[in-house]
């Protein structure tokens, strides 16, 4: 069994801790408009929960909590709750929510690749990705509910990975509906970038200490950041806009 698969097993063993003390302590940023669910809708949901296959959702065995900012706007910061699936040894996919309760809104997605896969990306593509070295070493990235030993093993694996993140619903801006353009997000790379208030509020809700997390991870080696990642630090900022101009679209037809 590989080291990463051993770590995955530890995550799954500790999932009961995730549900008992690692979740349901952060409400969504917004209350969206809409009518309350009818009794008929609730009955249909109950039936669907029993009868329908939800294999992609059941595969989400990892919960990470961290912070993002809008690429090109370091002050546009927010907490992000990641529910992730380990697709293979080099690739993870995550749904990002603005909370961890039943009212949480899907804010976006993040794809996480190993250093090995990141090196294979085209140079222009690399500018859309951010490293995770500082998030891990600073203690700002956590795996709520996991025992400290299991979390440490997980962080040893994540410290050398890279993420590509898009937010589609900007509830941090109090938008009650997913309007506007999707945005490319980045991760923090140095102390002093992330607002202390975000850390303080997060630590209080989860009853943890980011400072203690940092100290616990002092023995994790800091990898060299691969060229091309965190391009915003060199002024190479890439962001999405919605254009009225018609562009040719090519794709694979099923």
Distances (CA, A) of 182 to 38, 71, 170: 31, 11, 9
pLDDT of residue 11: 46
Residue 240 placed within a domain: no
Phi/psi of residue 160, nearest 5 degrees: -105, 10
pLDDT of residue 16: 42
Residue 39 placed within a domain: no
* Whole-angstrom distance, CA of residue 109 vs CA of residue 185: 10
Contact 103, 27 (CB under 8 A): yes
Please, which residues bridge with residue 110 across strands?
A: 94, 165
Q: What's the domain range around 209?
A: 3-23+56-124+134-234
Counting as low any pLDDT under 70, the low residues of the chain are 1-23, 247-254
Residue 31 placed within a domain: no
* Whole-angstrom distance, CA of residue 254 vs CA of residue 252: 6
Residue 60 placed within a domain: yes
pLDDT of residue 49: 85
* Whole-angstrom distance, CA of residue 229 vs CA of residue 121: 11
Pull the structure tokens for residue 70: 């809008």
Distances (CA, A) of 253 to 103, 246, 247, 249, 250: 36, 20, 18, 12, 9
In sequence order, which residues have a C-beta less than 8 Å from that of residue 135 and are 6 or more positions away?
66, 67, 141, 187, 188
Residue among 117, 63, 58 nearest 94 (CA): 63
Contact 145, 21 (CB under 8 A): yes
* Whole-angstrom distance, CA of residue 39 vs CA of residue 54: 23
Residue 120 placed within a domain: yes
Grouping H, G, I as helix, E, B as strand and the rest as coil, residue 150 is helix
Residue 84 placed within a domain: yes
Distances (CA, A) of 157 to 146, 167, 228, 248: 15, 24, 20, 40
Residue among 79, 60, 65 nearest 11 (CA): 60
What is the count of structural domains for the chain?
1
Residue 49 placed within a domain: no
Residue 253 placed within a domain: no
Other CB atoms within a 10 A radius of the CB of residue 200 amount to: 11
């Amino acid at each position: 069994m590989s080291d990463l698969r051993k770590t995955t097993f530890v995550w799954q063993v500790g999932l009961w801790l995730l549900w008992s003390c690692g979740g349901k302590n952060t409400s969504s940023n917004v209350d969206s408009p809409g009518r309350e669910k009818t009794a008929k809708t609730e009955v249909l949901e109950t039936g669907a929960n029993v009868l329908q296959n939800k294999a992609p959702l059941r595969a989400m065995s990892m919960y990470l909590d961290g912070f993002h900012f809008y690429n090109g706007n370091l002050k546009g910061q927010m907490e992000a709750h990641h529910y992730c699936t380990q697709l293979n040894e080099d690739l993870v996919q995550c749904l990002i929510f603005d909370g961890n309760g039943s009212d949480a809104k899907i804010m976006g997605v993040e794809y996480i690749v190993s250093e090995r896969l990141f090196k294979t990306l085209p140079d222009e593509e690399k500018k859309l990705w951010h490293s995770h070295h500082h998030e891990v070493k600073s203690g700002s990235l956590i795996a709520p509910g996991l025992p400290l030993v299991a979390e440490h093993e997980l962080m040893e694996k994540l410290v050398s990975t890279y993420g590509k993140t898009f937010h589609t619903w900007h509830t941090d801006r109090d938008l009650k509906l997913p309007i506007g353009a999707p945005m490319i997000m980045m991760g923090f790379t140095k102390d002093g970038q992330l607002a202390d208030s975000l850390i303080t509020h997060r630590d209080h809700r989860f009853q943890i200490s980011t400072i203690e997390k940092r100290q616990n991870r002092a023995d994790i080696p800091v990898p060299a950041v691969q060229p091309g990642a965190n391009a915003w630090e060199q002024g190479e900022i890439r962001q999405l806009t919605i254009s009225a101009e018609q562009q040719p679209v090519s794709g694979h037809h099923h």
